[in-house]
Structure 1
Amino acid sequence: MPKSAALDAPPTAPRRAADSRRLTWLMGPAIVAGVAYLDPGNVASNMTAGARYGYLLVWVVVVGNVMAWLIQYLSAKLGVVTGESLPEVLGRRIRTRWGRRAYWVQAELVAMATDIAEVIGGAVALHLLFGIPLVWGGAITGVVSLALLLLQARRGPRIFEFVIAGLVVIIAVGFVFGVFVAPPDPAGIVGGLLPRFEGTDSVLLAASILGATIMPHAIYAHSALSRDRFAPATEGAAETLEARRGISIPRLLRATRWDVTIAMAVAGTVNLCILLLAAAALSGAPGTDSLEGAYAALRDGIGPVVATLFAVGLLASGLASTAVGAYAGAEIMHGLLRVRIPLLLRRLVTLIPALVVLALGVDPTLALILSQVVLSFGIPFALVPLVALTARRDVLGAYRNRPWTTVAGVASSVFLIALNALLLWLVLTGS
């Protein structure tokens, strides 16, 4: 058969199976980055929204997940095509040393705020499950996250992805099981898809849900995770990747789209189930605006099994998300300051503030809310450069965004930045 005919022939069953296995092998980074969408801040926001307003804010979770898909795909595409993370690209393009340092300061504050929320979540879960004091629970959470980072550094990204994926399964079971015990109202779910608010507090909660959903460190991390898995950070990274593994960049981007779709489907389903569980079982119950109160309400209203699984899911959420957050923090420092520091020291940089907050006896739920406020400041610094860079020919070449993708990215960025600005205004003014 002539070579051209062979190329035009439809793929055989073994070839299709091989392609399927290869695409499966290419997946993973989005699952790790997607842990940011299942962190304790999301749990607190969705649980409070469901308990206070029932199904009213279902549409917010859905809209946030759709925007998250686009944003995470753009981040992954940047890492795949350039062989660099977003912090590395910014560190190369910001010409002045002081400009890079200033950008790093805000990104580092975001990383610290992220860690505060995630360590607190793990500490609260350990306290609920075993009665461990919050400070010691925070320290245990930090140590476990350090072990996960050491695993990633010594065994490579693939093993790290498997471990995080396992924790995601635990998170999903922990937070979804209760929906089967206390099924939500289908009519209420359908009604919740209609965008609307009921007063200022519902607007604040909607902004909190979106602020806890789309987080700056997930954007920084996903580009780095894709780089680590696929593209050597050298000139001609795309050509090198194709030569080494026989994988074309278009095929790799197709696998990335599937990876992001699966990760966001899991994260969106879990977040929606948290809200639906609260709407069905905790509506009007007192004290559900805190993780401890939600646990107690679940235990008293549905039973200890659901409450215990909720706490186990919260623990897995804290452990997985703080490890990914610390990974993002290390990448931010390396990309913008062009320095690497020992892993233990890097872990302590963001862990110590979280432990200080716990040691001072700050209310964990208040600390979670304040951490989301800090995260709101970091959203524009991650979103705007991401959309701008992925639209540039001199950055992504033929793989730059199509016009409609850029329009969707700009629209999502404007919407998220406006809502986060509203969140800041409402919190700071006490409205």
Structure 2
Amino acid sequence: MTRTGPVMASQGQARGHPSGMVVLDVAIPLRRHVARVAPWFGPAFVAAIAYVDPGNFATNFTGGATLGYTLVWVVVAANVMAMLIQSLSAKLGLVTGRDLAELCRDNLPRPVSRLLWAQAELVAMATDLAEIIGGALALNLLVGVPLPAGGLITCVVAFALLRLHQRGVRRFEAAIAGLLGVILLGFVYDTLRAGTDAAAVAGGLAPSFGGPDGVVLATGILGATVMPHVIYLHSALATSRAPAAADPAVRRRAVRWQRADTLLALGVAGLINLVMLTIAARLFFGTDTADTESLAGIHAGMAAVLDHPAALAFAVALLASGFASSSVGTFAGQVVMQGFIGRSIPLTLRRLLTMAPAMAVLVAGADPTAALVWSQVLLSFGVPFALAPLVWLTARRQIMGEHRNHPATTGVAAAVAVLIIALNALLVARSV
């Protein structure tokens, strides 16, 4: 008789098998592993919603419908950049227990810190412009709600989601992750209906702009993907895990798990972005389908080329994006103000202030899709102002200790900042 059966049974991890053999039950250690790892996951899923906000819908669908697969490489590159940037932001908050805005206030000259705060507030308004317009447009497409009324409804729902955060950060994270899931499912369905062209997607990985319009759209895609306000936010979200990572050994594991959290969440967001562009390229590029440079036209085109369920999935995904990203944007605004100047204002007042530009656009009857695209171009100009201090702080031993950036990481992150600045400069040069 072997000792295998008794030993396994004594460990309390064995169960009977119909054949009489003793089988190791892996469910218990698996559950324990999940329970140990799960608390570190969540912040990146809140950050990820900003990478699939209505601005992404506008830039990706417009890019695909206008230039086909030409800008696939921009979507892929932007999401790889986002993974690096958000991982640094999360590490900063987890290791220091403080967010990026707070550390900027403490480690930069006061005039520089105030300048960063002022531009960050402008970025927050541009962010809300995209998110409120997106939610309003989705409600209009789904049930015919007038755009101004849809903007108000989006603001109310976003405010309700923010209230969840006051009941506990995990509830807020779960709600936002659920809405991210709705967006993913919507585009999984549309992809199955539209089909894919793998060869064309692979061809789009070769860098090209396809003309002056491609530069504007590429900058918009970059601004819609690498979001400056969420660079600040992710560090603040990660601070909720900092007390549990006080022990150095635990902190080292926590840094690895937050990196996994970021890669998973941003991987989902990147897939959604890529699918947006490829669906538009496959269905509308080079066709005579009308008005495919607007989201309303995309919605109508999907109903005509595919079917009404496909158009419904698109509109529901857009609505989930507008609701979730608007609440995340307002939360980020609070983080920015509290961190840079040590003050905050009531959420209701902030909601009213940041919604004003979006409501003005909706009431004025401006083209909502054009407003979305140009708001994302504006956001791309804000990225270096958040990225430069993030790279500098995470490279400092005095701030990060043993978790400071490897020189290669700092070099790559600095190159990303230079690339974004160069793309912005190219846009300005071609616009004058």
Using the size of structure 2 for normalisation, the TM-score is: 0.90
Contact 1:373 1:424 in 2 (8 A): no
Matches of 2:151 and 2:415, distance apart in 1: 38
Matches of 1:109 and 1:420, distance apart in 2: 17
Contact 2:222 2:380 in 1 (8 A): no
Matches of 1:21 and 1:56, distance apart in 2: 43
Q: Which residue of 1 aligns with 2:122?
A: 109
Output one character per residue of 1:114-163: Cα deviation in whole Å (capped at 9) or x when no partner: 0000000000000000111111100000011111111102x111000100
2:321 aligned residue (317, 321, 332): 317
1:292 aligned residue (292, 296, 318): 296
CA displacement at 1:388 relative to structure 2: 0.8
CA displacement at 1:15 relative to structure 2: 5.2
Is 1:128 the counterpart of 2:141? The answer is: yes
Is 1:277 the counterpart of 2:279? The answer is: yes
Matches of 1:20 and 1:418, distance apart in 2: 43
Please give the residue correspondences for 1:27-426 in structure 2 after superposition, counting only pairs within 5 Å.
27-96=41-110, 98-153=111-166, 155-227=167-239, 229-232=240-243, 241-242=245-246, 248-284=250-286, 285-426=289-430
Contact 1:221 1:331 in 2 (8 A): yes
Contact 1:207 1:422 in 2 (8 A): no
Contact 2:216 2:377 in 1 (8 A): no
CA displacement at 1:89 relative to structure 2: 0.6
Matches of 1:341 and 1:95, distance apart in 2: 24
Output one character per residue of 1:359-398: Cα deviation in whole Å (capped at 9) or x when no partner: 1222212211231232133111101111111001111111
Q: Which residue of 1 aligns with 2:40?
A: 26
Counterparts in 2 of 1:241 and 1:347: CA distance versus 1, 3 Å: same
Output one character per residue of 1:251-303: Cα deviation in whole Å (capped at 9) or x when no partner: 10111011001111100111111111111111233311111111111111111
CA displacement at 1:353 relative to structure 2: 2.1
Q: Secondary structure at the match of 2:145?
A: coil
CA displacement at 1:190 relative to structure 2: 1.7
Matches of 1:346 and 1:384, distance apart in 2: 27
Structure 2 unaligned residues grouped into runs of 5+: 1-23
CA displacement at 1:241 relative to structure 2: 3.6
Q: Which residue of 2 aligns with 1:237?
A: none
Q: Secondary structure at the match of 2:292?
A: coil
Matches of 2:415 and 2:109, distance apart in 1: 28
CA displacement at 1:52 relative to structure 2: 1.6
Contact 1:122 1:138 in 2 (8 A): yes
CA displacement at 1:16 relative to structure 2: 6.1
- Percent identity over the alignment? 51
Q: Secondary structure at the match of 1:248?
A: helix
Contact 1:376 1:424 in 2 (8 A): no
Moved over 6 A (4+): none
Matches of 1:90 and 1:209, distance apart in 2: 27
CA displacement at 1:17 relative to structure 2: 4.6
Give the total of aligned pairs. Answer: 405
CA displacement at 1:99 relative to structure 2: 4.1
Residue type at the aligned position of 1:271 = N
Matches of 2:275 and 2:262, distance apart in 1: 20
Contact 1:47 1:274 in 2 (8 A): yes
Counterparts in 2 of 1:187 and 1:241: CA distance versus 1, 3 Å: closer
Output one character per residue of 1:55-77: Cα deviation in whole Å (capped at 9) or x when no partner: 22211111111111100000000
Question: More deviation in 196-205 or 291-300?
Answer: 196-205
Matches of 1:78 and 1:84, distance apart in 2: 8
Q: Which residue of 2 aligns with 1:3?
A: none
Matches of 1:204 and 1:344, distance apart in 2: 34
Contact 2:93 2:99 in 1 (8 A): yes
Matches of 1:44 and 1:107, distance apart in 2: 22
Larger radius of gyration: 2
Question: More deviation in 16-25 or 116-125?
Answer: 16-25
Output one character per residue of 1:151-186: Cα deviation in whole Å (capped at 9) or x when no partner: 102x11100010001100111122232111111212
Contact 2:220 2:380 in 1 (8 A): no
CA displacement at 1:195 relative to structure 2: 2.0
